[in-house]
């Protein structure tokens, strides 16, 4: 039976991570890629786990029930989770349509978050509650049928669950989503939950026949409070703090390690997988240590001091004085060394706390685990909306490490039979090591001699450089530079219009160059930017930036571009889109898909044009993107840039006329012509436009680069998930080379 339970929770853990990743992505597509929206989804997910754990724990107080009942309830919970496979995607899409049909919501309004948050809660909460119920229900079943090994059942199930979560993270990110897409991935997970439900139900039919006498377990008096832990309050505080600190630090880690890992889906999957695998390692060590110690063992004396020091190790492994290389392998080493010790320590400590507190009683573990999950809900909110904007990455880690170490200092001493002098020595050494980590290391931003740094709830933003060498970095990743390409993103579509333009929208503000160029036409100009701090640096890149922002016809909206298109009732003559690089950046496909172009098309005036910038991409991505565009608009043209990299796509439902550079310049106001020649490369506006027109691509040729690849959609983000495709291409190339050599 132990093997069966291990398998149940391994598979269940794998499925739960698949749901969390895919549901978050679907919710972002439906309601916007904003930090508050991400927080709402994660908080709902965690709240459901806490509610289910607490509710199932209270249910498990019932005595005198059939030994098979808890297992059947567990099967029912898994079946309920399986029903989410189709229900959640359909529910989120219905919520999107509901909001799209609503009118009167202003940009950036709290009303949108209230309504979208309610939609997310209604759709996700029932299934997340079922997930949270699985731990207490399983422990209840084990206590009723196998009381001999029930006292440490939580840690046994926890090890299996974390190992499964690690496997689910790796398989979904690196294999399954690329092969079958997002929706089919959750359907596969739902199928596995359905199999778990069937297996648990079948097992329950045998439970009454094979159960050990459990009367003693039912009649046993309530286990004594774990006074050796320093009292109930200190134990609860430590349980809460382990959840809060781990999740709050994960938000900090994303910012710290992004300069070394990049913004790919695989980078975030690596961080999560290493986090989970280290947690599993710590939990496995705890189970080994538990088997050797027996009874009710006390925690190792080093666990408390380790928590305080390990929380600061990312300061060392993200120090830019170590060789900087944007490579997944070397970045993964930094992550493993930086977060592994703390995650392993928490992986050891959390199941020990819950085992010690619950003594195998599901009614106890339900409430205690819910408290730990409550910390997991509040941690990202505290870190993202308070600590990081106010203190930055370094001091956020200091505060969180100090809180965690302080709770451990209060809760663990009475449980650790270390001599007082040795205990003081351990804590003293931890304090000295912590001070060294704080004051001897440097932040990533220090590599830039001239810099302005801004921090907000969404990102850390750096503006650096001089002259045309100025750059914008978000979480250490270069977003853009001062280049005539961004000017042509504005001037090219405006000059091709049949009628004089009245308004334009730029999605992704960046340095503000395209926004600035649009204002040179003296039209209503709106820019959308996801990161609040980015527009604050407009004046660093353009001296006239603050003056432009004071104009009555210039507006900057801090929001998700797709969300703005979904909600606004305004129409535009031109929508110019410049997604953040690289093409494979996580979430970037939401600005390249057929669904995005449906929104854009609905916001264009008759004859309006969408300008979509596509930087470097492989053949499959270029073909898939072009197909999405041609399936959304009747007329598409594509031009190479003045710097001979990347493509300007122009798309419209009206014909885009053939015009010479001179004809285009004739349609431009004098202020726009001056703006276009500011940075060259040609000395005249006509020369710059001619460089682009002479590099036109045939759209049919771009489609033919990969004829079997379907259009880029929200469900099949080919640009983000590409590893299998590239590995297959390398194998084929190597095989062709080998055959040619033979």
SS (H, E, C) 635-698: EEEEEECCCCCCEEEEEECCCCCCCCHHHHHHCCCHHHHHHHCCCCCCCCHHHHHHHHHCCEEC
Please give the pLDDT value at position 214. 46
Please give the pLDDT value at position 228. 44
- Whole-angstrom distance, CA of residue 153 vs CA of residue 144: 12
- Whole-angstrom distance, CA of residue 93 vs CA of residue 455: 33
pLDDT tens, position by position, 242-256: 999 999 999 999 999
**Alpha carbon distance, N-terminus to C-terminus of the chain:** 55
Please give the pLDDT value at position 210. 54
443: which 2 tokens?
């932040």
Please give the pLDDT value at position 218. 45
> Which ranges of 211-327 would DSSP assign to H, the alpha helix?
215-219, 232-261, 265-293, 303-310, 313-317
For the whole model, what pTM was predicted? Answer: 0.90
Please give the pLDDT value at position 297. 64
Please give the pLDDT value at position 525. 97
Question: Using an 8 Å Cβ cutoff, are 67 and 145 in contact?
Answer: yes
Contacts of 72 (CB under 8 A, 6+ apart): 200, 201, 204
- Whole-angstrom distance, CA of residue 437 vs CA of residue 338: 12
Please give the pLDDT value at position 324. 66
Question: Using an 8 Å Cβ cutoff, are 714 and 29 in contact?
Answer: yes
Secondary-structure percent of the chain, ordered helix, strand, coil, rounded to 5 = 65, 10, 25
3-state SS, residue 612: strand
Please give the pLDDT value at position 208. 56
The number of C-alpha atoms within 13 Å of 490 and in the hemisphere containing its C-beta is 31
Please give the pLDDT value at position 477. 92
Full set of structural domains in the chain with CATH: 1-102+110-209 (1.20.1250), 228-436 (1.20.1250.20), 485-728 (3.40.50.150)
Contacts of 288 (CB under 8 A, 6+ apart): none
- Whole-angstrom distance, CA of residue 95 vs CA of residue 167: 31
Which stretches of the chain drop beneath a pLDDT of 70?
A: 63-64, 102-110, 147-151, 207-233, 294-297, 324-326, 360, 413-423, 742
Please give the pLDDT value at position 209. 58
């Amino acid at each position: 039976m132990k093997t069966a339970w291990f398998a149940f929770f391994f598979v269940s853990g794998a499925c739960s991570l698949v749901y969390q990743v895919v549901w978050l992505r679907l919710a972002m597509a439906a309601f916007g890629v904003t930090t508050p929206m991400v927080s709402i989804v994660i908080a709902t997910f965690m709240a459901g786990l806490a509610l289910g754990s607490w509710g199932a724990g209270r249910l498990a107080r019932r005595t005198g029930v059939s030994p098979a009942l808890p297992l059947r309830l567990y099967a029912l919970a898994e079946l309920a989770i399986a029903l989410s496979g189709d229900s959640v995607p359909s529910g989120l899409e219905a919520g999107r349509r509901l909001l799209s049909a609503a009118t009167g919501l202003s940009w950036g309004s709290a009303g949108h978050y209230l309504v979208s948050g309610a939609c997310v809660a209604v759709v996700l909460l029932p299934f997340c509650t079922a997930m949270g119920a699985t731990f207490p229900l399983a422990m209840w079943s084990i206590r009723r049928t196998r009381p001999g090994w029930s006292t440490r059942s939580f840690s046994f199930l926890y090890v299996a669950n974390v190992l499964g979560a690690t496997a689910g993270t790796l398989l979904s990110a690196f294999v399954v989503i690329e092969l079958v897409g997002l929706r089919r991935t959750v359907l596969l997970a739902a199928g596995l939950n359905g199999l778990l439900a069937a297996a648990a139900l079948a097992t329950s039919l045998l439970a009454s026949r094979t159960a050990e006498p459990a009367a003693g377990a039912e009649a046993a008096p309530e286990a004594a409070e774990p006074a050796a832990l320093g009292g109930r309050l200190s134990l609860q505080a430590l349980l809460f703090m382990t959840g809060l600190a781990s999740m709050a630090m994960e938000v900090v880690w994303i910012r710290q390690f992004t300069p070394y890992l990049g913004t790919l889906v695989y980078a975030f999957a690596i961080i999560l997988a290493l986090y989970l695998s280290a947690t599993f390692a710590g939990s496995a060590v705890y189970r080994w240590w538990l088997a050797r110690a027996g009874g009710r063992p006390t925690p190792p004396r080093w666990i408390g001091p380790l928590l305080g020091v390990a929380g600061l190790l990312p300061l060392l492994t993200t120090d830019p004085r170590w060789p900087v290389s944007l490579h997944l392998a070397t970045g993964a080493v930094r992550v493993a060394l930086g977060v592994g010790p703390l995650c392993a320590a928490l992986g050891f400590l959390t199941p020990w706390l819950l085992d010690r507190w619950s003594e195998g009683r599901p009614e106890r573990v339900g409430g205690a685990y819910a408290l730990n999950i409550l910390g997991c809900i509040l941690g990202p909110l505290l870190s993202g909306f308070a600590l990081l904007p106010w203190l930055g990455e370094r001091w956020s880690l200091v505060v969180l490490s100090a809180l965690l170490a302080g709770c451990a200092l209060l809760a663990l001493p009475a449980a650790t039979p270390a001599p007082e002098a040795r205990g003081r020595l351990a804590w003293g050494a931890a304090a000295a090591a912590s001070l060294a980590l704080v004051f001897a290391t440097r932040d990533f931003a220090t590599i830039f001699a001239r810099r302005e740094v801004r921090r907000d709830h969404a990102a850390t933003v750096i503006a650096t450089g001089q002259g045309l060498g100025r750059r914008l970095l978000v979480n250490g990743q270069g977003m853009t530079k001062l280049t005539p390409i961004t000017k042509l993103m504005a001037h090219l579509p405006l000059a091709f219009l049949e009628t004089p333009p009245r308004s334009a929208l730029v999605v992704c503000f960046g340095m503000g160059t395209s926004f600035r160029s649009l204002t040179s036409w003296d039209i209503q100009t709106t820019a959308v930017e996801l990161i609040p701090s980015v527009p604050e640096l407009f004046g660093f890149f353009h001296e006239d930036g603050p003056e432009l922002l004071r104009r009555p016809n210039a507006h900057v909206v801090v929001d998700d571009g797709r969300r703005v298109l979904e909600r606004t009732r305004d129409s535009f003559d031109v929508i110019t889109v410049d997604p953040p690089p690289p093409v494979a950046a996580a979430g970037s496909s939401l600005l390249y898909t057929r669904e995005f172009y449906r929104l854009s098309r609905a916001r264009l005036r008759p004859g309006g044009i969408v300008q979509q910038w596509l930087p470097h991409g492989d053949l499959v991505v270029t073909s898939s993107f072009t197909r999405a565009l041609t399936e959304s608009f009747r007329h598409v043209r594509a031009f190479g840039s003045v710097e001979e990299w990347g493509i300007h796509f122009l798309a419209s439902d009206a014909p885009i006329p053939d015009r010479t550079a001179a004809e285009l310049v004739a349609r431009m106001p004098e202020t726009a012509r001056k703006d276009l020649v500011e940075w060259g490369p040609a000395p005249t506006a006509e020369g710059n436009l001619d460089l682009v027109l002479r590099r036109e691509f045939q759209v049919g040729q771009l489609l033919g680069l990969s004829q079997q690849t379907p259009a880029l959609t929200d469900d099949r983000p080919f640009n983000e998930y590409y590893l299998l495709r590239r590995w297959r291409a390398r194998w084929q190339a190597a095989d062709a080379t080998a055959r040619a050599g033979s």
